[in-house]
Chain A
Amino acid sequence: MRYNAGKTDVAVIGAGHAGTEAALACARLGVKTILFTMNLDSIANMPCNPSIGGTAKGHLVREIDALGGEMAKAADRVFLQSRMLNRGKGPAVHSLRIQADRRRYQALMKKTLENTENLSIKQAEIVQVIVEKEKICGVVTNLGAVFDAKAVIIATGTYLESTIFVGDVSYSGGPDGMHSSQGLSACLESCGIKLMRFKTGTPARIHRRSVDISKLEVQHGDEKIVPMSFENNYIGENKKDCYIVYTNEKTHNIIKENLHRSPLYSGNIHGIGPRYCPSIEDKVVRFADKPRHQLFLEPMGEDTEEMYLQGFSSSLPEDVQIEMVHSLSGFENAEIMRTAYAIEYDCCDPLQLKPTLEFKKISGLYGAGQFNGTSGYEEAAAQGLIAGINAAFSVKGQKPFILDRSSSYIGTLIDDLVTKGTNEPYRIMTSRSEYRLVLRQDNADARLTPLGYEIGLISESRYKSFLEKQKAVEAEKNRLEKTFVPPCIDLESILREKNSAPVKTGVSLAELIRRPEISYFDLALVDKDRPRLDFAITEEAEISIKYEGYIKRQLAEIEQFKKLESKKLPKDMDYSLIKGLRIEAIQKLNAQKPENFGQASRISGVSPADISVLLIYMGIK
Chain B
Amino acid sequence: MDTIIALSTAPVISATGVLRLSGNDAFEIVEKMFSGKLYDMKSHTVKYGKILDKKGNAVDEVLITVFRAPHSYTGENVVEISCHGSPYVLKKVTELAVENGARHAEAGEFTKRAFINGKLDLAQAEAVIDLIEAETAEESGIALKNLNGDLSCGVEKIRTFLIDICAQILAYIDYPDDEIVDTGAEELEKLVSKAFENTEKLKQSYTAGRIIKNGVSVVICGKPNVGKSSVMNRLAGFERCIVTDIAGTTRDVVEEKILFGGMKFLISDTAGIHEGTDDAEKKGIIMAEKKMREADLIFFVLDANTGIEEEDMFIIKKLEKVKGKKIALINKCDIFDINFDVPGFDSVIKISAKTGYGFDLLEQTVKESFSGIYIKNNEILMNTRQYSCVCRACACLKNALDNIRLTPDVIITDLEEAVKALGEVTGKTVGEEIVENIFSRFCVGK
Could you tell me which A residues sit within 8 Å of B by CB distance?
49, 54-56, 85-86, 88-93, 95, 275-278, 283, 286-287, 290, 293-294, 296, 310-311, 420, 429-432, 434, 436-437, 516-517, 547, 550, 553-554, 579-580, 582, 602, 604, 607-610, 613
Q: Decide: A609 and B116 in contact? CB cutoff 8 A.
A: yes
Q: Decide: A429 and B435 in contact? CB cutoff 8 A.
A: yes
**Whole-angstrom distance between the alpha carbons of A429 and B166 in the complex?**
14
B407 within 8 A of A: yes
Which residues from A are CB-within-8-Å of B445? 276-278, 283, 293, 311
List 26 A–B pairs whose Cβ atoms lie within 8 Å, in order of A's numbering: A55-B174, A55-B176, A86-B176, A89-B172, A275-B439, A276-B444, A276-B445, A277-B446, A278-B445, A293-B445, A294-B177, A294-B179, A310-B177, A431-B435, A432-B435, A437-B409, A437-B413, A516-B405, A547-B410, A579-B1, A579-B2, A580-B1, A602-B431, A608-B427, A608-B429, A609-B115
Q: Decide: B413 and A582 in contact? CB cutoff 8 A.
A: no
Smallest distance from the beta carbon of B15 to chain A beta carbons, Å? 35
Smallest distance from the beta carbon of A266 to chain B beta carbons, Å? 22
Q: Decide: A517 and B443 in contact? CB cutoff 8 A.
A: no
Which residues from B are CB-within-8-Å of A436? 409, 412-413
Given contacts A277-B446, A604-B432, A580 and B116 within 8 Å (CB-CB):
yes
Of the four ranges (under 10, 10 to 19, 20 to 34, 35 or more), the interface on chain B belongs to 35 or more
Q: Decide: B178 and A88 in contact? CB cutoff 8 A.
A: no
Smallest distance from the beta carbon of B415 to chain A beta carbons, Å? 12
B149 within 8 A of A: no
Determine which residue in B403, B408, B416 has the highest number of CB atoms from chain A within 10 A of its CB, and name it: B408
Look across to chain A and name the residue whose beta carbon is closest to the beta carbon of B442: A287
Smallest distance from the beta carbon of B422 to chain A beta carbons, Å? 14
Given contacts A55-B173, A55-B175, A608-B427, A550 and B439 within 8 Å (CB-CB):
no
Q: Decide: A516 and B403 in contact? CB cutoff 8 A.
A: yes
B406 within 8 A of A: yes
Q: Decide: A430 and B406 in contact? CB cutoff 8 A.
A: no
**Whole-angstrom distance between the alpha carbons of A286 and B1 in the complex?**
44
Which of A55, A89, A275, A608 is in CB contact (< 8 Å) with B408? A89
Q: Decide: A517 and B1 in contact? CB cutoff 8 A.
A: no
Known: A92-B407, A286-B443, A602-B431. 12 other contacts (CB 8 A): A55-B173, A55-B175, A88-B407, A90-B407, A92-B410, A276-B444, A278-B445, A293-B443, A430-B170, A431-B170, A516-B403, A579-B1
B9 within 8 A of A: no
Which residues from A are CB-within-8-Å of B177? 85, 294, 296, 310
A-B contact count (CB 8 A): 105
Q: Decide: B408 and A90 in contact? CB cutoff 8 A.
A: yes
B434 within 8 A of A: yes
**Whole-angstrom distance between the alpha carbons of A171 and B95 in the complex?**
71
**Whole-angstrom distance between the alpha carbons of A434 and B434 in the complex?**
12
Q: Decide: A91 and B407 in contact? CB cutoff 8 A.
A: yes
Q: Decide: A437 and B443 in contact? CB cutoff 8 A.
A: no
Q: Decide: B407 and A554 in contact? CB cutoff 8 A.
A: no
Smallest distance from the beta carbon of B168 to chain A beta carbons, Å? 11
Look across to chain B and name the residue whose beta carbon is closest to the beta carbon of A95: B176
B391 within 8 A of A: no
Which residues from B are CB-within-8-Å of A582? 116-117
B438 within 8 A of A: yes
Q: Decide: B2 and A420 in contact? CB cutoff 8 A.
A: no
Mask, B387-422, CB within 8 Å of A = 1, is 000000000000000010111111011001000000
Which residues from A are CB-within-8-Å of B1? 579-580
Which residues from B are CB-within-8-Å of A86? 173, 176
Mask, B172-200, CB within 8 Å of A = 1, is 11111111000000000000000000000
List the 5 closest pairs (A to B, CB-CB), nearest first: A90-B407, A90-B409, A92-B409, A287-B443, A431-B170
Look across to chain B and name the residue whose beta carbon is closest to the beta carbon of A435: B413
Given contacts A550-B410, A554-B413, A608-B429, A54 and B443 within 8 Å (CB-CB):
no
Given contacts A290-B443, A579-B1, A91 and B409 within 8 Å (CB-CB):
yes
Mask, B107-146, CB within 8 Å of A = 1, is 0000000011100000000000000000000000000000
Smallest distance from the beta carbon of B371 to chain A beta carbons, Å? 39
Smallest distance from the beta carbon of A475 to chain B beta carbons, Å? 26
**Whole-angstrom distance between the alpha carbons of A331 and B207 in the complex?**
66
Q: Decide: B174 and A430 in contact? CB cutoff 8 A.
A: yes
Which residues from A are CB-within-8-Å of B438? 431
Which residues from A are CB-within-8-Å of B172? 89
Q: Decide: B173 and A430 in contact? CB cutoff 8 A.
A: yes
**Whole-angstrom distance between the alpha carbons of A91 and B173 in the complex?**
11
**Whole-angstrom distance between the alpha carbons of A56 and B175 in the complex?**
10
**Whole-angstrom distance between the alpha carbons of A550 and B417 in the complex?**
12
Mask, B366-388, CB within 8 Å of A = 1, is 00000000000000000000000
Q: Decide: A431 and B116 in contact? CB cutoff 8 A.
A: no
Q: Decide: B174 and A56 in contact? CB cutoff 8 A.
A: yes
**Whole-angstrom distance between the alpha carbons of A612 and B91 in the complex?**
32
Which of B173, B416, B432, B439 is in CB contact (< 8 Å) with A276? B439
Which of B115, B427, B443 is in CB contact (< 8 Å) with A283? B443
Look across to chain A and name the residue whose beta carbon is closest to the beta carbon of B408: A89
Smallest distance from the beta carbon of A549 to chain B beta carbons, Å? 9
Which residues from A are CB-within-8-Å of B174? 55-56, 429-431
**Whole-angstrom distance between the alpha carbons of A92 and B170 in the complex?**
12
Smallest distance from the beta carbon of B432 to chain A beta carbons, Å? 7
Q: Decide: A90 and B446 in contact? CB cutoff 8 A.
A: no
**Whole-angstrom distance between the alpha carbons of A91 and B413 in the complex?**
13
Q: Decide: A437 and B410 in contact? CB cutoff 8 A.
A: yes
Look across to chain A and name the residue whose beta carbon is closest to the beta carbon of B109: A580
Determine which residue in A93, A294, A434, A517 has the highest number of CB atoms from chain B within 10 A of its CB, and name it: A93
**Whole-angstrom distance between the alpha carbons of A517 and B173 in the complex?**
20
**Whole-angstrom distance between the alpha carbons of A287 and B180 in the complex?**
13
Which residues from A are CB-within-8-Å of B179? 294
Which residues from B are CB-within-8-Å of A311? 445-446
Given contacts A86-B173, A431-B170, A431-B435, A517 and B115 within 8 Å (CB-CB):
no
**Whole-angstrom distance between the alpha carbons of A382 and B242 in the complex?**
79
**Whole-angstrom distance between the alpha carbons of A609 and B1 in the complex?**
15
Given contacts A91-B409, A430-B170, A554-B413, A54 and B427 within 8 Å (CB-CB):
no
Look across to chain A and name the residue whose beta carbon is closest to the beta carbon of B434: A431
**Whole-angstrom distance between the alpha carbons of A227 and B190 in the complex?**
39
**Whole-angstrom distance between the alpha carbons of A89 and B411 in the complex?**
10
Smallest distance from the beta carbon of B124 to chain A beta carbons, Å? 13
Which residues from A are CB-within-8-Å of B117? 582
Which residues from A are CB-within-8-Å of B409? 89-93, 430, 436-437
Smallest distance from the beta carbon of B420 to chain A beta carbons, Å? 10
